[in-house]
């Protein structure tokens, strides 16, 4: 009974996760990554507790270890479930040499696994003939069964499993390749106007239907697809024009230099025009040329963890729908006007793009508490950040540059300016009802990055990661081979840089 009750509680919490803004009376004036991260931490904590309780009960009932029950449950709850194909490395010790190996290979074949690589060496253990390393591709359920057989060893006599790296509930999962972001589409809420009575579009059936059509594009999107263009309506373009013209007035005086520069470039390329909403695909192509960032359409807010993970791949998840015409200057959630006017110009700046990516890389494998801290840092920098420019303070946060009310407030004497310092910014409570009483001012993007890197080094993650732009893959720097490869690559770069420097010196001499 206890297991059933725990499973039920678990299901209820997932239901809450899908529409928590209503069930929990989302208190904020607008949706925030910080609140989302906080909520997710709570759900994950409670879910883990339920899983453990359930596992204990099932272990008692079935005679399996708790770890095996949790492992089976983890597999069952992955998006692809038990049919997902998994790569695994098994290290086996064999008493009888070839005959033991034949039994193992037969067993892998029976489970429809594919052996990718096989290596053997004489065992150092007395009475044993070989130690064998086998790399296999196999569906998760079969892999679990095979590992259990190997651990018990009875059905595969003479073989013992020394190690496997197949499925570990201790290792945090995070996307290793940009294509795996296809699995990260966990929305906190699906169609906000349907759920929230205070939403400006709640009573407008036509608006809600439109949002659903646009959201479906994001749900159907897969890595490598071109982002479908949306024929925006006259009403939607009018909403854009109003906000665009306001931003145009405020930019020269209040926006940072980097924003002004990219904004101008977007105008020159006729991507930013007053009369029409730019399409995500054309903006994505512009960003790719400038900094390697690209866009993915998002149907609404993602979980904080998934949103930050995308940044690690220089991918920005952008909404494509437009706020309601009755509320052109305030939207309770991000819409494409906020994304386009607030975020795009700075994502085209190399230094800022690097800063955004570093927040993303720091989030991979981070604990829930650290995700909350990173979300808070993201909020006080990428969304509401200010920076010094000579003796002046300018805005670079997207939430400020796409909302003139808060922009003017943030630069007035009605609020406090504090120097950006990741360790204190990360724990600053976020005011979600009104404008912020405190804003953080960076000396420069370079200085912000330097401080951020020092702070990231204090995080709990026991490994380093790097993004390989050639393969679009995040690499965990945990092997000598990989580090040696990187050193060789950097040496090549250094040779080119030194040659270039020498040539410039020679030509100017």
Q: List interacting residues with Fe ion (CB under 5 A).
A: 334, 398
The least CB distance from residue 339 to Fe ion, in Å, is: 6
What is the three-class DSSP state of 132? strand
Between 196 and 339, CB nearer to Fe ion: 339
User: C-beta of 399: minimal distance to Fe ion in Å?
Assistant: 6
Check if the beta carbon of residue 336 is closer than 8 Å to that of residue 433: no
> How far apart are CB 33 and Fe ion at their closest, in Å?
8
Quick check: is 402 catalytic? Answer: yes
The angle at the Cα of 306, spanning 302 to 309, to the nearest 5 degrees, equals 140
Shorter beta-carbon distance to Fe ion: residue 72 or 181? 181
Q: Which of the following is catalytic: 236, 258, 343, 370?
A: 343
- In angstroms, what CA-CA distances link 8 with 5, 43, 134? 5, 14, 40
Distance (Å, whole) CA 271 – CA 142: 51
Active site residue 338: yes
Nearer to Fe ion, 232 or 316 (CB): 316
| CA gap 241, 250 in Å, rounded | 14
Within 8 A by CB and 6+ apart from 196, the residues are 21, 22, 26, 202, 332
Nearer to Fe ion, 58 or 305 (CB): 305
- Residue 159, helix vs strand vs coil: strand
383 is catalytic: yes
Helix axes 304-312, 368-378, angle to 10 degrees: 70
**CA distance from start to end of the chain:** 85
Residue nearest to Fe ion (CB): 398
When the beta carbons of 334 and 345 are compared against Fe ion, the nearer one is 334
- Residue 19 parent element (H or E): none
Calpha distance 292→290 (Å, rounded) = 6
Please identify, using beta-carbon distances, which residue of 221 and 307 lies nearer to Fe ion. 307
CB of 317 to Fe ion, least distance (A): 10
Q: Classify each residue of 185-223 as buried b or exposed e, where b means 16 or more C-beta atoms within 10 Å of its C-beta.
A: bebbbebbbebbeebbbbebeebbebbeebbebbeebee
Distance between CA atoms of residues 185 and 299, nearest Å: 9
User: Is 343 noted as a catalytic residue in this protein?
Assistant: yes
Q: Which listed residue (68, 258, 383, 406) is catalytic? A: 383
Least Å from the CB of residue 300 to Fe ion: 12
Catalytic residue among 199, 254, 324, 338: 338
Residue 334 CB, shortest distance to Fe ion, in Å, is: 5
Which listed residue (123, 310, 402, 410) is catalytic? 402
Active site residues per annotation: 338, 343, 383, 402
């Amino acid at each position: 009974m206890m297991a059933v009750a725990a499973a039920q509680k678990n299901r209820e919490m997932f239901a809450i996760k899908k529409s928590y803004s209503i069930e929990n009376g989302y208190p904020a004036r607008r949706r925030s990554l910080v609140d989302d991260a906080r909520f997710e931490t709570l759900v994950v904590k409670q879910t883990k507790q339920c899983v453990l309780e359930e596992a204990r009960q099932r272990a008692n009932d079935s005679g399996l270890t708790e770890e095996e029950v949790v492992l089976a449950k983890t597999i069952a709850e992955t998006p692809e479930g038990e049919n997902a194909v998994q790569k695994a490395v098994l290290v086996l010790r064999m008493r009888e040499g070839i005959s033991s190996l034949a039994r193992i290979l037969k067993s892998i074949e029976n489970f429809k696994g594919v052996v990718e690589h096989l290596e053997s060496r004489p065992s150092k253990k007395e009475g044993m003939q070989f130690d064998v390393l086998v790399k296999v591709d196999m569906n998760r359920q079969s892999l679990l069964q095979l590992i259990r057989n190997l651990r018990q060893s009875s059905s595969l006599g003479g073989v013992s499993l020394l190690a496997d790296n197949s499925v570990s509930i201790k290792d945090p999962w995070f996307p290793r390749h940009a294509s795996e972001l296809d699995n990260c589409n966990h929305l906190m809420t699906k169609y906000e106007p349907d759920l929230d009575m205070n939403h400006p579009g709640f009573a407008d059936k036509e608006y809600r239907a439109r949002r659903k059509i646009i959201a479906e594009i994001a749900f159907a999107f897969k890595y490598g697809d071109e982002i479908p263009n949306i024929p925006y309506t006259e009403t939607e373009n009018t909403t854009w024009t109003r906000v665009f013209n306001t931003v145009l007035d405020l930019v020269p005086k209040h926006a940072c230099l980097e924003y002004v520069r990219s904004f101008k470039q977007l105008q020159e390329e006729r991507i930013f025009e007053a009369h029409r909403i730019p399409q995500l695909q054309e903006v994505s192509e512009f960003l790719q040329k400038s900094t390697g960032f690209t866009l993915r359409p998002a149907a609404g807010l993602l979980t904080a963890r998934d949103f930050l993970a995308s940044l690690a791949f220089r991918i920005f998840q952008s909404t494509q729908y437009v706020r309601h015409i009755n509320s052109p200057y305030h939207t309770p959630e991000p819409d494409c006007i906020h994304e386009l006017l607030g975020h795009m110009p700075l994502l085209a700046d190399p230094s800022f793009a690097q800063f955004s990516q570093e927040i993303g890389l720091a989030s991979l494998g981070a604990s829930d508490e650290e995700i909350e801290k990173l979300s808070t840092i993201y909020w006080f920098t990428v969304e509401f950040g200010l920076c010094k420019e000579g003796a002046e303070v300018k805005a670079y946060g997207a939430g400020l540059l796409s909302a003139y009310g808060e922009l003017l407030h943030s630069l007035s004497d009605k609020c406090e300016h504090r120097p950006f310092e990741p360790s204190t910014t990360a724990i600053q409570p976020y005011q979600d009802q009104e404008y912020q009483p405190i804003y953080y001012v960076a000396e420069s993007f370079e200085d912000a990055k330097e401080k951020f890197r020092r702070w990231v080094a204090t995080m709990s993650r026991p490994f380093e990661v790097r993004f390989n732009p050639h393969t679009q893959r995040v690499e965990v720097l945990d092997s000598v081979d990989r580090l040696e490869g990187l050193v060789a690559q950097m040496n090549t770069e250094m040779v080119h840089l030194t040659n270039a420097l020498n040539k410039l010196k020679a030509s100017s001499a």
